[in-house]
Structure 1
Amino acid sequence: MSVEMKRRLFTVPEYHLMIKVGVFNKNNRVELIEGEIIEMAAIGTRHASCVKRLIAVFSDLERRRAILGVQDPIQLTERTEPQPDVVLLQPRSDYYATAHPIPSEVLLLVEVS
């Protein structure tokens, strides 16, 4: 007899609550993808070098044109909040202090693999 295991999918607010109450510590590299908490791969030297090069290229942009984000969360849906390597965001006076960016605020997203 086969038993079907049910998975519990989480929302972004539930994920944030888990972070707030300490379910994950600063050493846990996780992100929320389609409701599932996914452990992120370790950052290797080639990956880190590529991200640093992208930061150097994009940091020359005029700050009024875009905000540069590095490995910061982007809320794509109610159940997905990845942490892409580099993003260029629409300028916002609060620098996204009140909420993570949403897709309409993303000008460019780069994921290094």
Structure 2
Amino acid sequence: MITSVDPPRITVHPYRFTYEKVLAMAEAGMLPEHEHVELIDGQLIPMTPVNRPHYKCVNRMTRRFVVATEAIDTAVTVSVQNPLHLDAHNVPEPDLTLLRGPDADATADAALLVVEVSDTTLAYDRDTKLPLYAEAELPEVWIVNLQARQVAVYREPKGPAYGLRRLVDAEDMLSIKTLPDAEPIAVSDILPPPDASDADS
């Protein structure tokens, strides 16, 4: 009697890049020169091109963060669209990060606040990047929803989620939990004008 033999099972594990490997590849010219990517779970994720409402919001926030933090005793670095090292396999590039210290390294331990500006990327920022920020125990994350013209504030990281979520409308004020002495920021001051479309970008 002939009996069938099941073929051996093969487990396939996708290769996960580290940030050091990505830097080495870039230095060797192995990455597209003009393609902007971020490292998420060991994978290189192409970043969506920035449109006019997005960069206007980032510029307005940068200006407001500088004003809000310059009068307090705590030294803060405002890092704009730079890599944030969460771990070896996760180095996202938030739109804005407030870092503790005048010349701080961009690591999870130094991050006081992370801000993502979302126009077409809301689902990605909320469902993919936000859990990484929570797991890295970043104390506070803002997701600026340009479509809804409101800010979702996340605090109290617990595993891959945040215990506190609060929606702040355009008429309200934002405060930074880790910098209680900083001047509050009006949401209307960081949102671009409603007519800031891509028509003249």
Interval containing the TM-score (normalised by the shorter chain)? 0.7 to 0.9
Structure 1 counterpart of 2:81:
71
Partner of residue 62 from structure 1, selected from 65, 70, 83: 70
Matched AA of 2:35 = N
SS of 2:117's equivalent? coil
Ranges in structure 1 where 5+ consecutive residues have no aligned partner? none
Cα distance, 1:6 vs structure 2:
5.2
Structure 1 counterpart of 2:50:
43
Q: After the TM superposition, which parts of structure 1 deviate over 4 Å for at least 4 consecutive aligned residues?
A: none
Matched AA of 2:16 = L
Cα distance, 1:56 vs structure 2:
1.1
SS of 1:112's equivalent? strand
State the distance in 1 between where 2:88 and 2:100 align.
21
Matches within 5 A, 1:1-113: 7-60=14-67, 61-62=69-70, 65-92=75-102, 95-96=103-104, 100-113=105-118
Give the structure with the higher percent strand. Answer: 2
Aligned-residue RMSD, C-alpha:
2.1
Higher relative contact order (CA 8 A, sep 6+): 1
Cα distance, 1:40 vs structure 2:
0.2
Cα distance, 1:65 vs structure 2:
2.2
Cα distance, 1:25 vs structure 2:
4.7
SS of 1:49's equivalent? helix
TM-score (norm 1): 0.83
Structure 1 or 2, whichever has the larger Rg, is 2
State the distance in 2 between where 1:111 and 1:23 align.
28
How many pairs were matched up? 106
State the distance in 2 between where 1:33 and 1:58 align.
27
Ranges in structure 2 where 5+ consecutive residues have no aligned partner? 1-10, 119-201
State the distance in 2 between where 1:80 and 1:70 align.
18
Cα distance, 1:17 vs structure 2:
0.9
Cα distance, 1:47 vs structure 2:
0.6
Q: Kindly, what percent of the aligned residue pairs are identical?
A: 30
Cα distance, 1:90 vs structure 2:
0.8
